[in-house]
Amino acid sequence: MKFRMSFFPALLLLTGAAHATAQPAGGLAAREPSAAAEQRLRQDIQLVLSRLAASGALGQHPEELSLSLEEPGRRVTDLGVLVDSTSAERARDGLRVLGTTPGSAADQVGLHPGDVIVAVNGASLRQLGSDADGHALAATTLKASVASASEAEPLHLDVLRDGKLLAMNAQVQSVFVPAMRIEIGAAATVATTAAPAASSADACGRISTFDVAPRSDQQYHARILLLDGLTPGVHAHETYRVSAGQHKLLVAEDIPTRFMGAGEFPTVRARGTTSKELIVDVAAGTTVMVAAQFHQNKATDYANTGYWDPVAWRIIQESCP
């Protein structure tokens, strides 16, 4: 299936990027990210995917999605301003500021929502028309100026506020974004299935409740309440690093109520009486995927919680540093 990622099509967050070769300085080996950084990255990616799925951007069958993304390392220069670039007509008299990123160059220089950027480095942004997609060329011009800006020289902005013309010098900021390779859906499954088995030195694995279980098999999101008798961490996390071996989980289900019928079910679930234990064996270098299995033929069995069971529905080969 074709995949198109679209965020806020009427708006443009202005950043510039310069591609660079992603090599460690001085020939040193690439540094591994900290466990906290890795967990944060996983969490943010999962959050983005969840929002895309909820918005319908992944299509009607996200379980069939197959996508590979590769980006080289690059230095990103960021002004941190959100402007209205919907059309040339809306940007006829300049770019209207809709908001700024806290702590960004735009925030520090004092840009406010409602301001209109009418020129950058002496180049007018008024009446520039639109590109082939109908977006304002004024936004493209500002973006190009930000991309070519040097941290040593400020970006000169002419800003109209309440009928008065203001001159602002914004000191743009840049960060290096490392190269990335991301595989999602079927592409990730193929890649991990084909991965070599973990070595005996690899003594850890993962348990994940990330919600990609197939709805066609009546499998839904689950939450891990306890991991080996202990609270596993931040409740929003979906993946937990564990030692290789057997682990006991206390799992709660997140089966949508609309599949359960009416009656007392919502009250029962609110009291937390539907959690169940699950024993999983985690091999070194694997991720065990956990979900809630809904039993349609027992949909009304609230008292004995017979309507669901926690299941380990897939094991993925995945290195665990």
- Overall average pLDDT of the 35-59 stretch: 76
* Of 132, 54, 136, the residue nearest 91 (C-alpha): 136
Q: Which of 75-79, 145-149, 227-231 has the highest mean pLDDT?
A: 227-231
pLDDT in tens, 73-83: 777 777 888 88
155 and 173 Cβ atoms separated by less than 8 Å? no
Radius of gyration of the chain (CA): 25
- Overall average pLDDT of the 204-215 stretch: 86
The pair of three-digit structure tokens given for residue 45, joined into one six-digit string: 């990616």
Compute CA distances 147 → 2, 57, 129, 165, whole Å. Answer: 30, 29, 21, 25
222 and 254 Cβ atoms separated by less than 8 Å? yes
* Of 290, 183, 315, the residue nearest 239 (C-alpha): 290
pLDDT band of 3, cuts 50, 70, 90? very low
Q: Which residues pair with 68 in a beta bridge?
A: 183
Residue 96, pLDDT > 70, answer yes
Q: Which DSSP letter does residue 305 get?
A: T
Residue 200, pLDDT > 90, answer no
Residue 256 or residue 164, greater confidence: 164
Q: What is the mean pLDDT of the chain?
A: 76
Q: Taking the C-alpha atoms of 21, 26, 27 and 30 in order, what is their torsion angle to the nearest 10 degrees?
A: -70
Rounded distance between C-alpha atoms, residue 142 and residue 135, angstroms: 13
- Overall average pLDDT of the 298-303 stretch: 74
176 and 75 Cβ atoms separated by less than 8 Å? yes
pLDDT in tens, 245-279: 999 999 998 887 766 654 444 444 544 457 899 99
Residue 39: what residue type?
Q
Residue with tokens 């840049």: 174
Residue 199, pLDDT > 50, answer no
Residue 233, pLDDT > 70, answer no
Which of 150-159, 189-198, 246-255 bottoms out in mean pLDDT, i.e. has the lowest?
Answer: 189-198
pLDDT band of 97, cuts 50, 70, 90? very high
- Overall average pLDDT of the 208-232 stretch: 87
Residue 273, pLDDT score: 52
Which of 142-151, 192-201, 287-296 bottoms out in mean pLDDT, i.e. has the lowest?
Answer: 192-201
Residue 51 or residue 127, greater confidence: 127
Rounded distance between C-alpha atoms, residue 156 and residue 149, angstroms: 10
- Overall average pLDDT of the 86-104 stretch: 87
The H or E element spanning position 188 is: helix 186-193
Say how many CA atoms lie within 13 Å of 315 toward its Cβ.
10
pLDDT band of 67, cuts 50, 70, 90? confident
Residue 170, pLDDT > 80, answer yes
Q: What are phi and psi of 100, to 5 degrees?
A: -135, 155
Residue 20, pLDDT > 70, answer no
CATH code assigned to 11-20+53-59+68-177? 2.30.42.10
pLDDT band of 43, cuts 50, 70, 90? confident
* Of 152, 82, 131, the residue nearest 111 (C-alpha): 82
For the chain, give every domain's residue range: 11-20+53-59+68-177, 202-317
pLDDT in tens, 101-111: 888 888 899 99
305 and 276 Cβ atoms separated by less than 8 Å? yes
